[in-house]
Amino acid sequence: MSVFFSLSSFFRLFSFTFRLFQDLLSVVLPRTCPACGKPLKDWEECLCLTCLAGLPLTRFHEHPDNPLAEVFWGRVRLEQAVAWFYFRKGSAYQDVMHNFKYNHRPDIGVYLGKQIGYELKHSTIFVKPDVVIPVPLHRRKLRKRGYNQSEKISKGISIALDIPMDIKTLYRSGKTATQTRKSRFERWLNVSGKFGLRDPDRIRDLHILLVDDVVTTGATLEACAEVLLSVPGVRVSVAAVAWAKE
């Protein structure tokens, strides 16, 4: 009885101490919304409810022949193509993506991935894939940034859809220059032939959800999809957090 009481007391004390530590931490390092900068409420995971409600959503997961899917028509055979919201330069949501990619906030990516996954899960037309594969980073950029942003998004999608994530099969075989300020053709040349596969039989006959952070021309996703589609029986869909319409 005394042992049980001691253990019970210990866990109550531990729980109280942990909550106290969280409260003190929130004073020293307050959790803030990466879009508006305001403090988050206890029930807000990453974005505040106001900013979450204000997202310029695409609703592409409800329309198979959406504008993003049209970008790939005649270029590469995709099952489905979706992006969660429209990316607009100068908006608060540009700050969200900047914090995610460059200010060491991988948690933002996992959160955004979960939101995309929940949308896809409740879509009446989106066909659930077998596996999630993120667009890979070159090892030099991965070391510099500390994580692959597409992998963090894929992790969130994997959790929401309850499907595995594969980060081993698709790899980037060559370093590429930044895609910024390049034309569609220049972007395609920059990434064409820069991706490869390890043990392709691992993905044979699977429906793959290929994931990137922001889609502009679709050149990177196209280059990755072409490699994946070289494996017999493979089908590819693509998903991104945002679409930066040209």
Alpha-carbon span 128 to 208, nearest angstrom: 9
What was the pLDDT predicted at 58? 96
CA distances (Å), 77 to each of 9, 41, 58, 222, in order? Answer: 61, 44, 22, 9
- What tokens appear for 35 in the block? 């879009």
pLDDT digits (tens, 9 = 90+) for 136-159: 998 888 888 899 999 999 999 999
What was the pLDDT predicted at 22? 44
- Given a cut of 50, whether residue 24 has pLDDT beyond it is no
- What tokens appear for 126 in the block? 């989106």
CA atoms within 13 A on the CB side of 242: 21
233: alpha, beta or left? (left if phi > 0; alpha if psi -120 to 50):
left
pLDDT digits (tens, 9 = 90+) for 47-102: 999 999 999 999 999 999 999 999 999 999 999 999 999 998 888 899 999 999 88
**What are the helix (H) ranges across the chain?**
2-28, 49-53, 67-71, 92-102, 106-121, 139-145, 149-161, 184-191, 219-228
Residue 40 sits at the vertex; the CA angle it makes with 38 and 43, to the nearest 5 degrees, is: 155
Assigned CATH topology for domain 56-243: Rossmann fold (3.40.50)
pLDDT digits (tens, 9 = 90+) for 158-187: 999 999 999 999 999 865 555 455 455 455
Tell me which residue of 64, 40, 61 sits closest to 52, measured CA to CA.
40
Helix axis angle, 92-102 to 106-121, nearest 10°: 120
Q: Give the amino acid at 27.
A: V
Alpha-carbon span 33 to 49, nearest angstrom: 9
Q: Report residue 9's pLDDT band, with 50, 70 and 90 as the boundaries.
A: low
Q: Where are the domains of the chain?
A: 56-243
pLDDT digits (tens, 9 = 90+) for 202-239: 999 999 999 999 999 999 999 999 999 999 999 999 99
- Given a cut of 80, whether residue 27 has pLDDT beyond it is no
Q: Which residues of 52-76 are buried (b: 16+ CB within 10 A; e: fewer)?
A: eebbeebebbeeeebebbebbeebb
Alpha-carbon span 72 to 59, nearest angstrom: 18
